[in-house]
A and B are shown apart, each in its own frame.
Chain A
Amino acid sequence: MSYATALRCRECGREYPIAPKHVCEYCFGPLEVTYDYEAIQKAISRESISKGPESVWRYRDLLPCDGEPVDLQAGFTPLIRAQNLGEALGLKRLYIKNDCANPTWSFKDRVVTVAATKAREFGFKTLACASTGNLANAVSAHAARAGLEAYVFVPSDLEAAKLLGSNIYGANLVAVDGSYDDVNRLCAELGDKYKWAFVNINVRPYYSEGSKTLAYEVAEQLGWRAPDHCIVPLASGSLYGKIWKGLNELAKLWLIDSVHTKMSGCQAQGCSPIITAYEAGTFNVKPVRPNTIAKSLAIGNPADGYYTLKIMAESGGSGAAVSDPEVVEGIRLLAESEGIFAETAGGVTIAGLKRLIAAGKVDKDELVVAFITGAGLKTQEAVADALPEPLHIQPNIAAFEEALSRRQAVAATSGAVS
């Protein structure tokens, strides 16, 4: 049995029984899962966790599921000491949490494994979502694994390559004509009408709990301690809030000593409603129409924007918004220094970290963890034009050496110019 006790409204505090429900009937505020922490404390220890599976399910006592997991072994991804990138940025202790190493190559597998498990437990036969990429892939794969039907709604102008990552798993793909706002409204209405488990609508309180596992893993991989500073990409703000919640739960359960972590968030300038509010010194997030290459972060009306800003203030963290060229530069910097090819959200994180360091918001002695949430093969078009052409040669040594010296001469010239 799970230790989840109820759903509680984040606005008015009203409680509801565990059910597929996401909005408070009274004030329409978002619902969140609450737990019996006293009972959890008696049940788990660092040792018991370390004996668990190498996936998010090693923390199952801190997740709201009773049933057999719908499990593709999401989570327990590498936490890498980024010596080279740290030196390039002037940080002594920089770590990368590499969530590219998930079953469908993004952190969405963490949330969807929990959502799919809970959906099956509630008796749903269909798993659904509206997405521009990563979420659709994770839902399609987990539905296949669970034997559930999948409906995945995408904007009709989405690139063909992005559809393939869902289509391969046999999901029902639905391309929706209309503006981004139209698609959002339609999907909210669909969520009301159909008796499906829409992962980020009616099972959202459970779905979002999966993100807490990022915090648990980082703390465990650091030898059961919280980082000094987390650098997190912001879309809806849910991931950011759940990392904070996860760290605080570990402290509440005496699995780590304390949480002194500064929580900083990064967005692309083409969709930065949370950072704009942060810079204006307000908790009121003004919705925007997204226009950025960082499409996995393109949430113009972030559900958790207000809560993100509260945590930023409470934890002493900061925010940074970066331009699209900086995103590309960030992706290249991470790839060239650490051998990790991240999608555009990763570029936002690295470029944002660079900005925060330049602004004096990150101390060089802090233990910093940057969260890389998805793999670069999904967004190749973002960086393709920025990379050098390969050397084209005839199959002989002279041709190779001639091409090589031409390349080196060009590099020397451009180096001299810059």
Chain B
Amino acid sequence: MAKQRVKFTFPETLVTEPLIYELSKQFQLVTNIRRADVTADRGWVILELEGDMPEIERGLTWIADKGVRVDPVEGDIVEG
């Protein structure tokens, strides 16, 4: 089993959708939220995903395709 820390950023259109719930239903993933800030027009959630690495990757591709931005919790790693 692998673990990955990620940050999801939700646009206004998706902020009311239960996408983290769906992520854990549709994929064999345990989602563990650590910090979040969600308002009516946007939101971010920092969480850990636990599962097989290919399943984590499939889940992240699925949620990104839905329109959620997926980033490392560290922010941008590539610096100038």
| A-to-B contact residues, CB < 8 Å | 11, 22-23, 26-30, 129-135, 153, 155, 180-181, 183-185, 187-189, 191-192, 198, 200-201, 204, 235-236, 284, 286-287, 295-305, 345
Contact = CB atoms under 8 A, between A and B. Distances in A.
Contacts, number: 98
A299 B76 contact: yes
Given A28-B34, A28-B35, A188 B79 contact: no
A188 B72 contact: yes
B20 interface: no
Contact of B71 (A22, A155, A181, A297): A181
User: What is the interface of chain B mostly: helix, strand, loop, or mixed?
Assistant: strand
B46 interface: yes
Contact of A184 (B5, B9, B72): B72
Contact of A132 (B5, B71, B79): B79
B54 interface: no
Contacts of A297: 80
A236 B75 contact: yes
A193 to B, nearest CB: 10
Nearest to B44: A284
Interface string B23-64: 000000000001101010010101010000000000000000
B69 interface: yes
B74 A235 contact: no
A299 to B, nearest CB: 4
A299 B75 contact: yes
A130 B76 CA distance: 10
A185 B70 contact: yes
| Among B34, B70, B72, B75: residue with most chain A CB under 10 A | B75
